[in-house]
């Protein structure tokens, strides 16, 4: 029996090693880098939309709105499918980070990698599905989708605690981005440029971009918590709604401008990540 168990473990370990070797292939790295570039472009477009909102222009300052902008060109369907493949590859790469390569880490670090990379794999995969939806002609308003999701969640068993938990999770992710930016922990993802003008510029972009994205996530998570506390799921409108809500406050437009500029900075940083990042 012990020999059979050891044989099964050896077979599983060998299969995992083979899968890890496949995940380290140059083609997957290339597709994942293109996925980082797509995400960079989305952040730049979202930042531009957020700034335009201050000037009274229409638009949705979130991934769906950015994808809609990218789809509005003669090569829209081809761009959508290419971006879908890129995001799918990036999702697969993050999944391999969470499972195959993460299994070599100490237990605590392995759990952290499973949570962080696993969440990113889901996030990038969902963006890839959004690109596929646009390529197939399926359009929708993200604010309406978020409100529908919130309404269904509230009406389900344990709906209010679940919505509070979701809001707090998003707030926690926002705090993570702020801490990562202020602590310059993003430098671990890049080849070193210390002591150069390029390194200083990358550091400024990284700090500004991570903090801005963190603030936007804090606002989004806060709307979920408020919706749960007031039992009003219609007030939960996602990233776009949280940014548009800033326009109604005295200093909101200035904060919206800062967040928009920060998203653009994060997008430029992500382009650097796509080119010079550690894979």
Q: What is the dihedral of CA 273, 44, 147, 86, to 10 degrees?
A: -50
What percent of the chain clears pLDDT 70, i.e. is strictly above it?
Answer: 74
Prediction pTM value:
0.80
pLDDT digits (tens, 9 = 90+) for 64-73: 888 888 888 7
Distances (CA, A) of 211 to 182, 207, 215: 7, 6, 6
pLDDT at 8 over 90: no
Within 10 angstroms of residue 16's Cβ, the number of other Cβ atoms is: 13
Res. 45 pLDDT band, cuts 50 70 90 = very high
The mean per-residue pLDDT over the stretch 244-256 comes to 82
How high is the pLDDT of residue 18?
46
pLDDT at 181 over 60: yes
Task: Determine the Cα–Cα distance for residues 228 and 159; give it in Å rounded to an integer.
Answer: 8
Average pLDDT along the chain: 79
Contacts of 25 (CB under 8 A, 6+ apart): none
Q: Which residue has the higher pLDDT, 127 or 193?
A: 127
Q: Which residue has the higher pLDDT, 17 or 118?
A: 118
Q: Which residue has the higher pLDDT, 145 or 12?
A: 145
């Amino acid at each position: 029996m012990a020999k059979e168990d050891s044989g099964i473990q050896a077979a599983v370990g060998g299969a995992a090693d083979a899968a890890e070797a496949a995940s380290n292939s140059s083609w997957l790295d290339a597709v994942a880098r293109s996925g980082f570039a797509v995400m960079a472009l989305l952040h730049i477009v979202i930042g531009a939309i957020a700034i335009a909102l201050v000037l009274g222009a229409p638009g949705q300052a979130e991934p769906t709105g950015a994808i809609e902008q990218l789809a509005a060109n003669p090569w829209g369907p081809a761009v959508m499918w290419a971006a879908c493949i890129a995001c799918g590859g990036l999702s697969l790469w993050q999944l391999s980070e969470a499972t195959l390569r993460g299994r070599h880490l100490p237990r605590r670090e392995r759990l952290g990698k499973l949570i962080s990379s696993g969440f990113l794999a889901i996030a990038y995969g969902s963006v890839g599905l959004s690109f596929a939806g646009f390529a197939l002609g399926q359009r929708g308003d993200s604010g309406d989708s978020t409100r529908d999701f919130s309404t269904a969640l509230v009406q389900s068993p344990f709906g209010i605690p679940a919505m509070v938990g979701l809001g707090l999770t998003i707030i926690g992710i926002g705090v993570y981005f702020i801490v990562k930016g202020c602590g310059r922990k993003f430098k671990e993802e890049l080849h070193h440029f210390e002591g150069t003008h390029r390194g200083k510029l990358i550091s400024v972009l990284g700090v500004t971009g991570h903090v801005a994205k963190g603030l936007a996530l804090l606002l989004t998570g806060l709307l979920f918590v408020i919706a749960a506390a007031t039992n009003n799921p219609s007030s939960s409108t996602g990233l776009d709604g949280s940014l548009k809500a800033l326009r109604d406050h005295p200093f909101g437009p200035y904060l919206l401008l800062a967040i928009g500029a920060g998203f653009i900075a994060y997008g430029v940083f992500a382009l650097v990540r796509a080119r010079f990042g550690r894979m």
